[in-house]
Amino acid sequence: MDPSIPYSPNGACIQLPVGGDVEVSIANECRIFEELLDAEVAVNMEKLREASRMGIPPAYRGVVYRYLLGVALTDKSSEMTMEELQDKDFQLLNTAYTRMWGRGDEDDDRSGAGGGSHSVGHGASGNVAASHTIRALMTFSTTSMAAAVSATEGNGPLHSSCRYRGMGSGVAGVDADGGNSNGTGVVATPFVYRGPSAVPSLASSATLVAWEECVRALRYCAPYNADRSQWKRMESALAALQMMYCNVSVDHVQLLVLLARQLDRISSSARDTFFTVHALFNVLTQDGNILHDDQTLQTHCGNFLMLFRAVLLPLYEHFTVEGLTTWEWVPSLLTCFFVGRLHPDDVFALWDCYLADMNEHQAMALHPYACLAMLSSMTEVLIEADKTELLYCLEHLPRLDTAAIMRKAVLIRESVYSKGLLSG
């Protein structure tokens, strides 16, 4: 028996890992995604989701996320039409942003998204500006709209956000049904939600301030503080997001910026960053999802706390003894989806499974179980921590084996439903 070769106690040879094996595995994974994405007629979403659950190679993640979120069409014959319409949509949003708030001096930190010149959006002049903005946002031809509706039919999350919706009243020159008061017909822009939050003149000052503060803070974060071109790209995406979500809560503004920062890492353009963030946020705010409203958030937090007690009772009791209240840590943990708390690469590794598991009506449903799995893996550290240390640990999560976390998360979910702890 060769002493240089390791053997198990029963005499079987143990094959050592070879560096080349890892390279071959990565090459095989890339080949799988390349074949799926290069389909001539249509992308097979069932196979794409199945492959994504095993992890998406970084080089393909941006494109795959577009399919998983319904931003890109699976029908290859309509792919270019969709991209052209999205380009036009995105440019209109940026034009509207500039018209509403301007960009100021290029060297001014307040220029671009979140810029400080919000006075245009208030009073009588604000109504006039809003009127022009809404007209600019709704100038697609009926041919383009028909093509967009046909192209997006039954194509995942974005389908639910591109139907005709009224703009609401209160904007000069625009009727509640989306038409001009002078009788001129207009057509709703495809792909983007048109609700009261899309009327900049009605945005609350708190929301505008939140956008300004979040964008200013992001400007000084890596890599944007050292790469002007990358910041300009992000700034353009944020401007479109601010136009789309200028009447949401302050918490939602902060989350939108966090999502944009995460997804910008894999996006090939500002347009892609905007549409992937918009698609994800749109599903998260649908009925039953955690961001739908305060009552839904409270329900999700209550369910999580119940599962935390059932699955990790010693840790639950320790949190209680240390005086850690639910609202000090549960809502933020459940709604950040680990962005800003976990290494970006680990966030993506978890999101690969999250997005592969999502459907048209529910997103990130695996996240609460991943949180429980994460807490379980950190039990030895957390059980010895006081309240201040607990909060710090929960906001600065260590790098862990994400594959093991997801396996445990799936097992926890199966156990929860088999025991009837949650219904549905």
Q: Does the pLDDT value for residue 184 go beyond 50?
A: no
Same domain, 331 and 414: yes
- Is the pLDDT reported for residue 187 higher than 70? no
Question: 358-380 pLDDT, tens per residue?
Answer: 887 788 999 999 999 999 999 99
Domain boundary among 76, 102, 118: 76
Q: Quick one: 307 and 392 in the same domain?
A: yes
Per-residue pLDDT at 77 exceeds 80:
yes
| CA dist., res. 329 & res. 385, Å (int) | 15
Residue 7 lies in a domain: no
Q: What distance in Å separates the CA atoms of residue 385 and residue 392, rounded to the nearest whole number?
A: 10
Pair (392, 300) in one structural domain? yes
How many Cα atoms are found within 13 Å in the side-chain-facing hemisphere of 56?
Answer: 31
314 lies in some domain:
yes
Work out the percent of the chain whose per-residue pLDDT is above 70: 69
- Is the residue at 278 inside a domain? yes
The answer to whether residue 147 sits within a structural domain is no
CATH number for 61: 1.10.10
What's the CA dihedral at 301, 304, 306, 311 to 10 degrees? -160
Check if the beta carbon of residue 81 is closer than 8 Å to that of residue 147: yes
Q: What pLDDT is recorded for position 76?
A: 85
Are residues 300 and 281 both part of a single domain?
no
Residue ending a domain, choose from 285, 304, 331: 285
Would you state the pLDDT for residue 257?
97
Handedness of CA 164, 169, 173, 177 (dihedral sign): positive
pTM for the full model? 0.76
3-state secondary structure of 45: helix
Q: pLDDT at position 121, please? A: 41
- Helix/strand/coil for 140: coil
- Same structural domain for residues 311 and 409? yes
Per the document, the length of the chain is 424
319 lies in the same domain as 408: yes
Say whether pLDDT at 44 is over 80: yes
Do 217 and 334 belong together in one domain? no
Among 23-27, 160-164, 205-209, the range scoring the smallest mean pLDDT is 160-164
Give the pLDDT confidence score for residue 317 in this predicted structure.
97
Class of residue 214 by CB neighbours under 10 A (exposed 0-12, middle 13-18, buried 19+) = buried
Q: How confident is the model at residue 423 (pLDDT cuts 50, 70, 90)?
A: low
CA separation, residue 245 to residues 63, 196, 208, 400 (Å): 24, 9, 10, 34
The answer as to whether 81 is a domain residue is no
Domain total for the chain? Answer: 3
Identify the pLDDT of residue 302. 95
Q: Hey, is 145 helix, strand or coil?
A: helix
Q: Residues 276, 353: one domain?
A: no
Same domain for 345 and 324, yes or no, is yes
Tell me if 213 sits within 8 A of 254, measured CB to CB: no
Instruction: Please compute the mean of the pLDDT values over residues 32-54 and round it to a whole number.
Output: 93
SS3 assignment, position 251: helix
- Note whether residue 102 is domain-resident: no
Residue 404: helix, strand or coil by DSSP? helix
The per-residue pLDDT for range 390-412, each reduced to its tens digit, is: 999 999 999 989 999 999 999 99
Token pair for 309 = 């007690």
Domain of 48, in residue numbers: 20-76
Alpha-carbon distances, residue 143 vs 81, 150, 419 (angstroms) = 12, 11, 53
272: in domain: yes
Residue 355: pLDDT over 80 = yes
The enclosing domain of 326 has a CATH number of 1.10.472.80
Whether 148 contacts 103, CB under 8 Å: no
- pLDDT category at 23 given cuts 50, 70, 90 is low
* Residue 390 near residue 325, CB atoms below 8 Å: no
CB of 293 within 8 A of CB of 256? Answer: no
Looking at the fold, whether 278 and 317 belong to one and the same domain comes out as no
Residue-wise pLDDT tens digits, 253-262: 999 999 999 9
**Pick from 240, 266, 285: which residue ends a domain?**
285
Q: Is 20 helix (H, G, I), strand (E, B) or coil?
A: helix
Does 223 sit behind a cis peptide bond, omega within 30 degrees of 0 on the bond before it? yes
Q: How far is CA 224 from CA 154, 234, 348, in A?
A: 37, 8, 20
Q: In this structure, what DSSP letter does residue 53 have? A: T
Q: Is residue 185 part of a domain?
A: no
Same domain, 271 and 324: no
Residues 312 and 278 placed together within one structural domain of the fold? no
